[in-house]
A and B are shown apart, each in its own frame.
Chain A
Amino acid sequence: MPLDIVRIRAAFPGRRIDYYRSIDSTMRAAAGLETGAVVLAGEQTAGQGRLGRAWHSEAGAGVYCSIVLKPAPLLTLALGLAARSAILDASGLTCDLRWPNDLMLADKKVGGILVQAADGHAIAGIGINVDQTAFPPEIASEATSLRLQWGRPPGLPSSTDILLALLPAIDRFLHRDPASILRLFAEASSYASGRRVTVRQPDGAIEGTTAGLDLSGFLIVRKDDGTDTLVLAGGVRASGS
């Protein structure tokens, strides 16, 4: 279903909201725009994931959005909490958060968030799978959509519904203090502590059990030999997945 851009713009008067029926990447389009600007797309032909990976962006099936923000402490954790809150408000579905901010339903990824910082701005790219009924074979085992998890086709929220909840949620969570973001993340994420994980890093994988976040929001992983490793980037996966 296409985005109802008229409804979205009407809900946020005075805010710059650019809409493209089809674009290579909302991240590229958002570069250089003013703080607060939002770029939405019906589809992305070259959606960006972490470290040059692609983000599957089927036409009309998901939220493909980039928002220009000011850098803030724990920004990526706050964005994950905001997206989780928006999905809950719009659909009633409660996502898990895989550190730092992957949105998970039934241990599969339903949404991803990436932030690119440059020139004093932080551009947040948020992708949420809403209406997909299938995924390409290479990601089918680890991706899902709200429709696939919903189980009750009537009443499935649209991408428009998600966006109407998402933009205010981001504003709310970005105004929270770091201590409350850490606390809320610990409450919302099964990955925050006691979860068996494998962390893929450029120089190899480590395995252990999560043992909370430090005050900067980095994930502590306790290896079986008792030593702690601080995970700085991403690449955290549930062991065995």
Chain B
Amino acid sequence: MTVDEIRELINLACETGIAELEVQRGENRVRIRRAGFAAQQEIVVAQQSYPAAMAPAAPAPAAAEPPQEPKSADTNLVLVKSPIVGTFYEGPSPGAPPFVRVGERVQPGKVLCIIESMKLMNEIEAETAGIVESKFVMNGQPVEYGEALFGVRAV
């Protein structure tokens, strides 16, 4: 895919006013997500290497707006990130109470959520002791590799 083609896609996204556009051509995938009036582009070249359990080769479909943005400069806030692309579940089954609520104190090893990828259920555990200060994704939402799920205030 050429730069001109990508530019054309950005123009198309801006002209039509759509929030997000994803195009795959061969091994190249381009996703353009509009934030306000600024267009942002992300290019992921699909790879055959598979770090960890699953490949982060494919970006997740359009996600709902997260409840709030992760804080980046706060050194005491530990971000729990998704190790894979998948679907976020806050509890063990639909209708069940969530594994953890904002404001709750957690210890290392406490299960915080499940990320499902192709019927592989990954339990995501707290790695540090602290208080869950933020939850950045909603139940059932697709998440990407490395996407922040929780903010845990280390204590």
Interface residues on B, range: 35 or more
Instruction: Look across to chain A and name the residue whose beta carbon is closest to the beta carbon of B22.
Output: A228
Residues from chain A with Cβ under 8 Å of B22 in the complex: 228
Q: Let me know if A42 is at the binding interface, CB within 8 A.
A: no
In the bound complex, do residue A118 and residue B123 qualify as a contact, i.e. CB atoms below 8 Å apart?
Answer: yes
Q: How far is the CB of B112 from chain A (nearest CB, A)?
A: 12
Partner of B140, one of A114, A201, A217: A201
Q: A178 in the interface, Cβ–Cβ < 8 Å?
A: yes
Contact A77-B118, Cβ < 8 Å, known A215-B58, A232-B60, A233-B87? yes
Which chain A residue shows the least CB distance to B83? A117
Q: Which residues of B contact A116 (CB under 8 A)?
A: 120-121, 123
Asked if residues B123 and A50 are in contact (CB atoms below 8 Å), the reply is no
**Is the pair A232, B24 in contact by a Cβ cutoff of 8 Å?**
no
Contact partner of A215 (CB less than 8 A), chosen from B47, B93, B142, is B47
How far is the CB of A54 from the nearest CB of chain B, in Å? 10
Partner of A118, one of B60, B94, B125: B125
B57 at the binding interface (Cβ < 8 Å): yes
Majority secondary structure, B binding face? loop
Q: Nearest Cβ distance between residue B122 and chain A, in whole angstroms?
A: 5
Residues in B neighbouring A77, C-beta threshold 8 A: 118
Judge whether B80 is part of the interface by a CB distance below 8 angstroms.
Answer: no
Q: CB of B55 within 8 A of chain A?
A: yes
What's the nearest-Cβ distance from chain A to residue B109, in Å? 9
Size category, A interface:
35 or more
Q: Judge whether A115 is part of the interface by a CB distance below 8 angstroms.
A: yes
Which residues of the other chain, B, contact A53 by a CB distance below 8 angstroms? 93
Q: How far is the CA of A16 from the CA of B19 in the complex (A)?
A: 53
Taking the closest CB of chain B, its distance from the CB of A76, in whole angstroms, is 5
Q: Quick check: is A101 within 8 A (CB to CB) of the other chain?
A: yes
Which residues of chain A are within 8 angstroms of B94 by Cβ–Cβ distance?
51-52, 202
B96 and A52 contacting across the interface, CB-CB below 8 Å: yes
Interface presence of A234 (CB below 8 A): yes
Which residues of the other chain, B, contact A233 by a CB distance below 8 angstroms? 86-87, 116-119
For residues 103 through 155 of chain B, which have their beta carbon under 8 Å from a beta carbon of chain A? 116-123, 125, 139-142
B53 to chain A, nearest CB (A): 4
Contact at B85–A232, with CB atoms within 8 Å? yes
Give the distance in Å from the alpha carbon of A118 to the alpha carbon of B123 in the complex.
6
Segment 35-70 of B: residues with Cβ below 8 Å from A: 46-48, 50, 52-58, 60-61, 64
- A76, B89: Cα distance in complex, Å: 19
Whether A113 is near chain B, meaning CB under 8 Å from some CB there, is yes
CB <8 Å contact, B87 and A217: no
**Is the beta-carbon distance between B89 and A51 smaller than 8 angstroms?**
yes
In the complex, whether B98 has a CB less than 8 A from a CB of chain A is no
Measured between beta carbons, the chain A residues less than 8 angstroms from B119 are 50, 76, 100-101, 113-115, 233-234
User: Is the pair B93, A51 in contact by a Cβ cutoff of 8 Å?
Assistant: yes
What is the CA–CA distance of A227 and B57 in the complex, to the nearest angstrom?
19
Q: Which residues of A contact B58 (CB under 8 A)?
A: 214-216, 218, 230
Q: Is the CB of B122 within 8 A of A234?
A: no
The CA of A232 and the CA of B48, in the complex, are separated in Å by 18
Contact of A114 (CB < 8 Å), options: B56, B89, B121:
B121
Query: Is there contact, CB below 8 Å, between A122 and B117?
Result: no
A122 contacts B47, C-beta separation under 8 Å: no
**A76 proximity list for chain B (CB < 8 A):** 118-120
Stretch touching chain B among A18-26, A67-75, A165-173: A67-75
Nearest CB on A from B107, distance (A): 15
A117 to B53, CA, bound (A): 9
Smallest distance from the beta carbon of A191 to chain B beta carbons, Å?
13
